[in-house]
Amino acid sequence: MTTSTRHFIHRSPLQTIAVVCAAVAAAAAVLPELARAQEAGADGLATDPVLRELISESLAARPELKQAEASVRAERERVPQAGALPDPTLTLGIQNDGFGELMIGEMESSYYQIMLSQPLPWPGKRGLREDVAKLAAKGAEADVARLRLSTEAEVRRGYLDLLVVRERLALLDELERVWQRSIGTARARYEAGDGAQSDVMRAQLELLRLQQRRWSLQAEEAARLQALNRLRGRPLDAPIASGTAVRDLPLPAVPPLDAATSDAEARSPELAGARTAARQAEAQTRLARRERYPDLSLQAGIMPRGRLDPMWTAGISVGLPLWSGRKQSRAVAESEARTSASELGAEAILQTLRQRVAERRAALASLLETVQIYRKGLLVQSQATTESALAQYRVGKVTFASVLDANAGYLNDQEAHLLAAADAQRIAIAAAEVSLDPAGGAGGGAGMSGASVPGAGAAGGGTARGAGGGGSGGGAPAAAPAAGGSMSGGM
């Protein structure tokens, strides 16, 4: 029989009614969250008006994005340049017999010279150069797409982290109220001669530890706020409201693997950029093959001779590819190798992208199961255990160490539920970002932490509540000091 079961058996009817009422109230608070969690595919953060405004401001203010857009404009300006003819050459000159005087009009071999020459690339070269430039501009567009996705994801993660730290502060407020009740009970028993003074002192000590943790979380809240304000180009101390609560958000749905993979392949800027680079390398290879053909140059000129009839000249020049074996042929081989490298790079990105989609999908499924465990029973049982431990301590059935352990378990379970729900949202953010980072992507805060596993937060704090975890058991008195540490540092 577990400690929790013994608590429920050995109490008065009034205590039983109180505990049951508390459990029912907790279940009533959980049910609306369960209903919201069942909304398939709902994206709670996307509908948050505060977040939408933050994203809009960040996209408009971020200098890195403006820099990338300017680079795209620069690359587009290169396209007409690449397809244009080389500039013609105008040559002005004079030819004269002797050094004594001008003999133009007197001697047949004396004249002015006006000559125009126009280089003409071999047919097809200009079009291929233009294709290469167009693909370079398209590759720059992929960089802009990545920056836009990353900016939006960074704002969403920053906003989520801000919500999480504020909810952790709210959990401290809730736990402080629990400890105030515990102090009242311990003081009443001490004044009645049934309790020890150390129980009152220990409860007061835990309140001081909560205050210490509150200062740390308040500093973290300020840092999150400053990071978001930097992204949107506002004063670092500008206030940002909380448009929602993480625990109230509908949970992301686990998409079918094929659909998620197809969506990621269609939207990934890295994959689009790699494929564009491969096409650009192919166009460069075709251009390198065409470069083996010599360019032409047309010349035409007129030579006025004063009183004598003018002369004219016309000609065509052709380059002789005598060193093709060391130049043009090697350029073709170089371009073919770069094409192969680009295609392999695109394939590597494709494989990584598919792996990340599968990883995120598996991680999200696991997190959703974890959150459901908390919402469907663990949180209710944890709160009931807290109420039971305090009621049993009030009548002297258990030691104050059991109250310490139950309170620690209650806080750890509440926080672990919050972190698991936040981790699920981070995975959804990474999926929308089409991130190539493992699992949840580059998230802040306590994402993917051990506290996302039921009971892990309490175990990490040193409590010894057994396999039940999550505050479901009473715990041994020997574990009380460690439980106090969990409350003050477990958040």
pTM of the model: 0.73
CA distances from 33 to 30, 82, 245, 376, 491 (A): 5, 60, 11, 10, 22
Is residue 476's pLDDT more than 70?
no
Is residue 190's pLDDT more than 90?
no
Q: What is the pLDDT of residue 386?
A: 81
Q: What is the pLDDT of residue 465?
A: 33
Is residue 247's pLDDT more than 90?
no
User: What is the pLDDT averaged over residues 446-456?
Assistant: 40
Contact between 401 and 479 under an 8 Å Cβ cutoff? The reply is yes
Higher pLDDT, 118 or 17: 118
User: What is the pLDDT averaged over residues 478-486?
Assistant: 34
52-64 pLDDT, tens digit per residue, is 999 999 999 989 9
Q: What is the pLDDT of residue 472?
A: 36
Question: What percent of the chain clears pLDDT 70, i.e. is strictly above it?
Answer: 79
Q: What is the pLDDT of residue 268?
A: 94
23-35 pLDDT, tens digit per residue, is 444 444 444 444 3
Q: What is the pLDDT of residue 143?
A: 93
What's the pLDDT band for 13 if we cut at 50, 70, 90? very low
Q: What is the pLDDT of residue 244?
A: 85
What's the pLDDT band for 412 if we cut at 50, 70, 90? confident
262-317 pLDDT, tens digit per residue, is 999 999 999 999 999 999 999 999 999 999 899 999 999 999 998 888 999 999 99
Residues 6+ apart with CB under 8 A from 234: 57
201-219 pLDDT, tens digit per residue, is 777 777 788 888 889 999 9
**Sequence ranges of the domains in the chain:** 3-86+140-293+345-489
Q: What is the pLDDT of residue 441?
A: 52
User: What is the pLDDT averaged over residues 173-198?
Assistant: 74
Q: Which residues, listed in sequence order, are joined to residue 298 by a DSSP beta bridge?
A: 118, 316
Is residue 87's pLDDT more than 60?
yes
What's the pLDDT band for 91 if we cut at 50, 70, 90? very high
**Topology adopted by domain 3-86+140-293+345-489:** Outer membrane efflux proteins (OEP) (1.20.1600)
**What average pLDDT does the chain have?**
79
305-361 pLDDT, tens digit per residue, is 988 889 999 999 998 888 888 888 899 999 999 999 999 999 999 999 999 999 999
Q: What is the pLDDT of residue 440?
A: 56
Contact between 147 and 270 under an 8 Å Cβ cutoff? The reply is no
CA distances from 216 to 86, 207, 210, 246, 458 (A): 67, 15, 10, 20, 20
Is residue 404's pLDDT more than 60?
yes
Determine which of 148-157, 190-199, 474-483 has the lowest per-residue pLDDT on average: 474-483
Q: Sign of the C-alpha dihedral, residues 454, 457, 460, 461?
A: negative
CA distances from 363 to 372, 426, 460 (A): 14, 11, 21
Beta strand 89-95 with 296-305: parallel, antiparallel or unpaired? unpaired
Determine which of 40-44, 399-403, 452-456 has the lowest per-residue pLDDT on average: 452-456
Q: What's the distance, CA 468 to chain centroid? A: 35
User: What is the pLDDT averaged over residues 428-449?
Assistant: 69
177-187 pLDDT, tens digit per residue, is 777 777 777 77
Q: Sign of the C-alpha dihedral, residues 244, 246, 249, 253?
A: positive
Q: What is the pLDDT of residue 92?
A: 95
Q: What is the pLDDT of residue 272?
A: 95
